[in-house]
Amino acid sequence: MEAFWSLAGMAGAAFVAATLLPAQSEAVYLGILAARSADPLALFVVASLANTAGSVVNWWLGRLIARHGVEKLPQRLRPDPLRFQQAQGWFSRFGWPSLLFAWLPLAGDPLTFVAGTLNFPLGRFILLVLAGKAGRYAMLWAGWTALT
């Protein structure tokens, strides 16, 4: 039962951390690895999928903005204008490969939002974002394994 709650907590933390809300999931991930309260492979899969799902929410909000305008969103869901401009610049400059860096703090979440505003195809979006986010969790796992 402990493994279930650890994985559920990881899913929640990873999902929220990938949305436009300020949060981090790395500490939760490493804490669960250190506590050995869940299978590391299951933790990796749950964290990667939940973090990608949170990015899909950003993409979807971006699509809403593209259709209806930012003023239709509740104030708390509106993107920070500076971070939004930075993300637009990244996406304009680097195109689809920039989605591999959707895991980056501060810039990654707005980048996924921008992809939605630009109507980037959802299937390709999910594959690219999942690859980047899974890569980040794999590096954390490998680093933790090397230290223990």
Per-residue pLDDT of the chain (148 residues; tens, 9 = 90+): 899 999 999 999 999 999 878 788 999 999 999 999 999 999 999 999 999 999 999 999 899 888 887 777 777 767 777 877 787 887 888 889 999 999 988 778 888 999 999 999 999 999 999 999 999 999 999 999 999 8
- Contact in structure between 14 and 46 (CB atoms under 8 Å): yes
- In angstroms and rounded to an integer, the radius of gyration of the C-alpha atoms of the chain is 16
SS (H, E, C) 56-99: HHHHHHHHHHHHHCHHHCCHHHCCCHHHHHHHHHHHHHHCHHHH
Residue 122: how many CB atoms within 10 A of its CB?
A: 14
Place of tokens 């680097």: 94
